[in-house]
Amino acid sequence: MSDDTQDHDGSRRDFLYLSAGAFGAVGLGAALWPFISSMNPSADVLALSTTEVDISQIEVGQRVTVKWQGKPVFIDRRTPKAISEAESTDLVDLRDPQTDADRVAQPDWLVVVGVCTHLGCVPKGQKPSEKRGNWGGWFCPCHSSHYDTSGRIRQGPAPLNLPVPPYKFLNDTNIKIG
């Protein structure tokens, strides 16, 4: 046997070993994936990850509450007065500075998660009969946090504005939250 054939054998052996190892690794990885994937949100959980809301029945000045991922979401069809108040606010007056434009997709509609950023209570102000606080937005009864017409914190212990959930307008009468 010449050296040449030995080399040839050797490289073929290495190749086979390497291939076997690579196939084994790929197989192991593929076999593990179902286990890991099973821990991710299941189909029934995913089905509840988004909420579509028909907003055609909401009148100017009216507020509705919808549930999204177990949390209340406030939808406010704002009055022109509320919009101008929200837009004209000076950022230096804000604890958590954000312009109104950053918080809405269309100025007529404000969509925020209705959970007080202080300790997670649900603020009042969705019903006309309820107190809306000193800035005309929402008022948290638990520890007197006041939010303005853009859902921004203005007074009280809460540190941050009401969070804006991910949402988009599907058309003029429907929005999809999540």
Partner 1 sequence: MGIVCNLRRAAAATGLIASVVLVSSSAIAAGGAKHAVAQDWHFEGVFGTVDRASAQRGLQVYLEVCSGCHALKQVAYRNLAALGFTETEIKAIAANYEVTDGPNDEGEMFQRPAVVSDSFVSPFPNAEAAKASNNGALPPDLSLQVKAHAGGADYIRGLLTGYEDAPSGTDVPDGLNYNPFFPGSFIAMPAPLAEDGVEYTDGTKASVDQMAWDVVNFMQWAAEPEMEQRKKTGFKVVLFLIILSAVLYAAKRKMWSNLDH
Partner 2 sequence: MSAGTHQTGGTGSGLVKWIDSRLPVFSYMQKEYAEFEAPKNFNWFWNFGAILTFMLVLMIMTGVFLAMQYTPHTSLAFDSVERIMRDVNFGWLLRYLHANGATFFFIAIYIHMFRGMYYGSYKGPRELLWMLGVVIFLLMMATAFMGYVLPWGQMSFWGATVITNLFSAIPLVGDSIVTLLWGGFSVDNPTLNRFFALHYLFPFLIFGVVILHVIALHVTGSNNPLGVDPKGPQDTVPFHPYYTMKDSVGLAVFVTIMAAFVFFAPNFFGEPENYLEAAPLVTPAHIVPEWYFLPFFAILRSVDFNIWFIDAKLGGVLAMFGSIGVLFILPWLDKSPVRSANFRPIYKWFFWILLLDCIVLGYVGGKPTGDPVVAGVEWFKVIHLGYITTFWYFFHFLILLPLLGIFERPKPLPKSISEAVLGGRTPGATANAKQMEKA
Q: Does 158 bind partner 1 (CB under 8 A)?
A: yes
Closer to partner 2 by CB, 71 or 77: give it. 71
Contact of residue 131 among partner 1, partner 2, none (CB under 5-8 Å per partner type): partner 1
Can you tell me the distance from the alpha carbon of 77 to that of 176, in angstroms, rounded to the nearest whole number?
Answer: 16
Can you tell me the distance from the alpha carbon of 161 to that of 103, in angstroms, rounded to the nearest whole number?
Answer: 10
Find the binding residues for partner 1 in span 101-120 (CB under 8 A): 113, 115, 117-120
Q: Does 50 bind partner 1 (CB under 8 A)?
A: yes
Contact of residue 39 among partner 1, partner 2, none (CB under 5-8 Å per partner type): partner 2
Can you tell me the distance from the alpha carbon of 92 to that of 152, in angstroms, rounded to the nearest whole number?
Answer: 13
Examine the residue annotation and report whether 143 is marked as an active-site residue of this protein. Answer: yes
Can you tell me the distance from the alpha carbon of 95 to that of 129, in angstroms, rounded to the nearest whole number?
Answer: 28
For partner 1, which residue of 24, 142, 146, 172 counts as binding (CB under 8 A)?
142
Is residue 122 classed as helix, strand or coil in its secondary structure?
Answer: coil
Contact of residue 22 among partner 1, partner 2, none (CB under 5-8 Å per partner type): none
C-alpha distances (whole Å) from 73 to each of 19, 46, 49 are 54, 18, 13
Q: Does 28 bind partner 1 (CB under 8 A)?
A: no
Can you tell me the distance from the alpha carbon of 27 to that of 33, in angstroms, rounded to the nearest whole number?
Answer: 10
